[in-house]
A and B are shown apart, each in its own frame.
Chain A
Amino acid sequence: MSDEKVSRRDLLKVAGVAAAAVAGLQIIQKANASESAPTGGRQWAMVIDQSQCTGCGYCVMACRAHNDIPPDITWNPVIEAGQVGDQKVYLPRPCMQCAKAPCVEVCPVKASYYRPDGIVMMDYDRCIGCRYCEVACPYGARSFNWKKFDGPNPAVPEWGEPEVPRRPRGVPEKCAFCYQRIDRGLQLGLEPGVDEDATPACVVACPTGARVFGDLNDPNSAVSRLLKSNPHFRLREDLGTAPRVYYLPPKAEG
């Protein structure tokens, strides 16, 4: 009698452990597969030529206007990065649109996600404002809306007209390669990186052509050709985040 009871109990135990193991494995598999790096046909990337950048900040202002960013937030700062010869060197820093983005990995609600074309997007309507992404980003690319942005945008209309809705208070915001310009441009049959209306505002605004935008999968795009023929680097490549913003280092000229 008691033997039978024990064996049933053991059976239940084994079944329980097996069920837990299956469930655990599935979660692990899902966790590994979830939000894998994007593999769409077109992969947008930006090349920034540091030898061309004069630090004028036009890109910052155009970005503020087209994306309706509050004055105390910068998606795309231009940072002084030392000197080569007697030339000051600048490093503009948009969101890196990492192929393995820490922010996408840590977001508890998938408010940060990959578009098939590689852009790391924010769903501002889903975000709960926990700021884990902000803590996780190695590039400081995210800014939290500590207060509501109401009132006029000082960059408008001088630098352009807003193309996206303002973000609400309580969510972090960041650069998304002006996805709205890309999407609308493609609908109109334009080519991002070639036609201005389909290209990120900072690229269009740059007076020296230091910024180049295009499709990494297209060997004839401007970005592909620049990367093929020039030495280049990405920020903190050691972290394995695989950014889609490439830099051409400044050239030391006599």
Chain B
Amino acid sequence: MKASNIKSFFGSAWGRWISILSLFLVMGLGAGLIVFWKGLSVTHLSDLVPWGLWITIDLSSIALAGGAFFLCAGVYLLGLKQYQPVARTATFIGLAGYTMAMLALMLDIGRPDRFWHAIIYWNEHSLLWEVTMCVCLYLTVLVLEVLPILSSFDWLRKHFPVIAEKLEGVHHYAPYLAIVGLCLSMLHQSSLGAIYGVLKARPYWFRPDIAVLFIMSAIAGGMALTVFASMLSARLTKRAVIKDELLDRVAYFVGWIMVAYLYFRFWDALSMTYTYEAGRTEGLNILTSGVLSFNFWFGEMLLGAVLPIIILLRKKTRSNPVLRMIALALIVGGVVAYRWDTNLSGLLVLVSYMPGEPTVRYTMYRPSIIEWIAGLGIISYGLTLFSLGVRYLHVVDHRIYEQERQTAKVESAETATA
């Protein structure tokens, strides 16, 4: 009886998927324990390149969680109520992303036992402090926003209907949470770029544009991941139900955000070519013709921006679900590539402090095996959380419109039937 249960679990696609994820999770956990035991000497980070793969995962998961604040703002502040189920998916992805970022940070800081110091000891002057505070507060907002989603858990509804109802009731505060979430996200999504932008020691980063580009790519990437994950889930399981016209509109909007992003990115990069500046020019060279050039031209520009823009803005190509999914996945990849490239193009170039004209030295970084395994573990954690959400919490179900207040009830009922 039990053996056959196990057999059917591993025989099912769900069972195989969860087994693969669990394998990576266990390996990641092992790698994480090695990091805590041996310290950061097991990484390929150095005093010259102190930030690497884990920071990229940290930045990327926060960026790709950016669909949550943007869609919630659209639904609850602009009144685009028909997108509420999409915002629900985005919120859950947001929770997955921010907890992934927390895991990556715990690995990356040298003293994970003191992670709470930023909450106790404030340096209001530090952007990293501001980001830490915003991320902690926003994670709280996300948890509150996810509570109503937990009420969709069938088991909970059956055994603890009172708790389920209470959790559902939290949705009453969705508009307020959306306001707080919007403020916090506008702050830290851009400040994450400004963390790099304020460093005068690193001329490649020392400009205001990174902050703007970070939030724009987070909005595009976050929504792209939400739509992609929804469409993929609907193809793989009956538990995910989508309304394609909703996702089509969001994807179209993502296309336009990418146009705006590309426009700013173009002038940002071009303006760096106006004069020679030690460190900045070399950083740009690394990006456009050096070790990062493939990433830049293919990962970020051609595949990460131009191609998806064409696919998403043309109605004919966008209506093709496979093409649309490819475009959205490419945007997600482009956002990750941008984080990786931004971090490294600043760190691979070192400006000398010796007297005379500043000269430039190059450094190297390739993540170690442990860094990769731990990083993959974090990513599998995010995938596992989302998969469980789709299966048990109806995270992707466009029939669900949660009710806020009496007035909202009528409105949402109307849109649902429309």
- Residues on A facing B (Cβ under 8 Å): 27, 30-32, 34-35, 79, 81, 91, 93, 102, 105-111, 126-132, 134-140, 142-148, 168-172, 233, 235-236, 239-240, 247, 249
Contact = CB atoms under 8 A, between A and B. Distances in A.
B126 A247 contact: no
A137 B201 contact: yes
Interface string B37-65: 01111010111101100000000000000
A142 B347 CA distance: 15
Contacts of A142: 47
Contacts of B22: none
Given A128-B109, A140-B47, A169 B39 contact: yes
Contacts, number: 136
Nearest to A139: B353
B127 interface: yes
B358 A236 contact: yes
Q: Interface range on chain B: under 10, 10 to 19, 20 to 34, or 35 or more?
A: 35 or more
Contact of A131 (B51, B125, B350, B358): B51
B114 interface: yes
B111 A170 contact: yes
Interface stretch (B116-124, B239-247, B404-412): B116-124
Interface of B: 38-41, 43, 45-48, 50-51, 108-111, 114-115, 117-118, 120-129, 132, 195, 198-202, 347, 350-351, 353-355, 358
A108 B118 contact: yes
A148 B39 contact: yes
Main secondary structure of the interface of A (DSSP, over half): loop
8 contacts: A30-B124, A106-B126, A109-B129, A131-B110, A132-B195, A135-B202, A143-B47, A147-B39
Given A109-B121, A142-B47, A171 B40 contact: no
Nearest to B200: A239
A135 B108 CA distance: 14
Contact of B132 (A81, A108, A111, A148): A108
Given A35-B125, A146-B40, A140 B115 contact: no
B409 to A, nearest CB: 20
B90 to A, nearest CB: 25
A113 B128 CA distance: 16
B125 A138 contact: no
B199 A135 contact: yes
A56 B6 CA distance: 71
Given A239-B200, A240-B200, 11 more contacts: A106-B127, A106-B199, A108-B132, A128-B110, A128-B115, A139-B353, A145-B110, A146-B40, A147-B39, A170-B39, A171-B110
Nearest to B195: A132
A235 B353 contact: yes
Nearest to B198: A106
Contacts of A170: 39-40, 109-111
Contacts of B47: 134, 140, 142-144
Contact of A109 (B40, B48, B118, B200): B118
Contact of A107 (B43, B123, B350, B351): B123
B121 A126 contact: yes
A110 B109 contact: no
B364 to A, nearest CB: 16
